Amino acid sequence: MQIVTALGHALWMSFTMLWQIFWGLSLGFLFSAVIEVAVSKSEMSKLLPDASPRSLTFASLLGAASSSCSYAAVAMARSIVRKGGDFTAAMAFQFAATNLVLELGVLMWVLISWQFAAAEFIGGPIMIIVLVLLFRFFLQDPLKKDAIEQAEKGIAGSMEGHAAMSMGEQHGTWKQRLSSKEGWIAISHSYVMNWTMLWRDIGVGLLVAGALGAWVPDSFWQKFFLVGHPMAAMIWGAFVGPLLAVASFTCSVGNVPLAAVLWNGGISFGGVASFIFGDLIILPILNIYRKYYGGKMTAFIAVTFYVAMAAAALVVEILFQVLGWVPHERHTAIVDAAITFNYTTVLNLIFGAVFVVLTVVFYRTGGPEMMRMMESDEHDHGAHGHQGSAETEQHRR
């Protein structure tokens, strides 16, 4: 009976967290879909010819205008490399696509506090700068050449279909796309695909967060995160955060409920930031890097990404401590969460209606057929882009 009670408690916490974040997810995915339709990426590689500040700025802005799915971001980065874009700029795009997207900031704000959303948007560019410096000083040309040659083989990893669609050719101006019937059909397709790509990460993240929140006592977290030693806790949190992300196996927005649990348990402010940053070095994605770029480059990526994540988290924590922005209260939306009629309920109803309408449009306009084509092994000009058919890659295993 105690086991059933414990399971029920964990599941209830997971559900209440979902209730708290549903409207934020729906809003974020809607904005992401609108931006993906409005912003053309078909000429992306031409905008990223080198690792100059201009190219890196373009890479970051285009990444922020992309889907928040880490797997899709990794696939799009490889596509940039295969089309002649600079390798370092492609990695900057990848970082931005998972850490500077709107839905991540919305969820951080809703589930924890606005300071964490600000930390992600300030820490993301810092992390990209650190990564670029590491690449500039330590990435040798032979290793980069081998990685590009491996990328040219086109070995399948994950989400290549979405990457091909996102980078497909778009017609007309952004105003014409957003004001047309075809544009809103494309928005419905992108919106539903965001849910489709991320529902597993979101579900696993909520279940794990619910279990940890219900079953692991605060005393364990406080000892593990060295709560009684502020300086040590700050350093330890920044470096252990990405490792906890690796252990969680979830990524992108799926990590936000876990981040709320860790903050409630005592991890440092920078530790939360580095934990969210860590979604690009989880084991499944490291395996994709191995397929895309080879084993040696994967090891180089893992080390440099980890150092950039930890360093950016430390800089963010110090900056926010100086500004007095680090929250003193560790009460988050997961603590004593309850479902009542309040602004969350109203927003859930509104964005639940958005979910239903766009899902119906998706099903009535060939969305399922498009997804089946994207998920097939062969993408021989078969997947449909935002405005008609988008050229896709043919992948060799």
The number of residues in the chain equals 397
Q: How far apart are CA 386 and CA 389, in angstroms?
A: 8
Q: Can you give the pLDDT at residue 377?
A: 44
pLDDT tens digits, 363-381: 999 888 887 776 664 344 3
Cβ atoms < 10 Å from Cβ of 136: 10
Q: Can you give the pLDDT at residue 229?
A: 93
pLDDT tens digits, 275-297: 999 989 988 889 999 999 999 99
Spell out the domain ranges in the chain: 2-379
Question: Measuring CA to CA, which residue among 138, 41, 159 is closest to residue 90?
Answer: 41
Structure tokens at 304: 């440099």
Q: Which residue(s) pair with 384 in the sheet?
A: 389
Q: What is the pLDDT along the chain (397 residues), one digit of tens a residue?
A: 678 887 887 787 788 878 887 888 888 788 778 877 776 666 666 788 899 999 999 999 888 877 667 888 888 888 888 888 899 999 999 999 888 888 888 888 888 889 999 999 999 999 999 999 999 999 999 999 999 999 998 887 666 666 666 655 566 677 887 888 888 998 898 889 878 877 877 888 888 888 887 788 888 989 999 998 999 999 999 999 999 988 877 777 778 888 888 998 899 999 999 999 998 998 888 999 999 999 999 999 999 999 999 999 999 999 999 999 999 888 665 555 567 777 788 999 999 999 999 999 999 998 888 877 766 643 443 333 444 433 333 333 3
Q: Can you give the pLDDT at residue 341?
A: 76
Q: Which residue(s) pair with 56 in the sheet?
A: none
Going by the DSSP 8-state scheme, the letter that residue 385 receives in this structure is E
H-helix or E-strand spanning residue 369 = helix 367-375
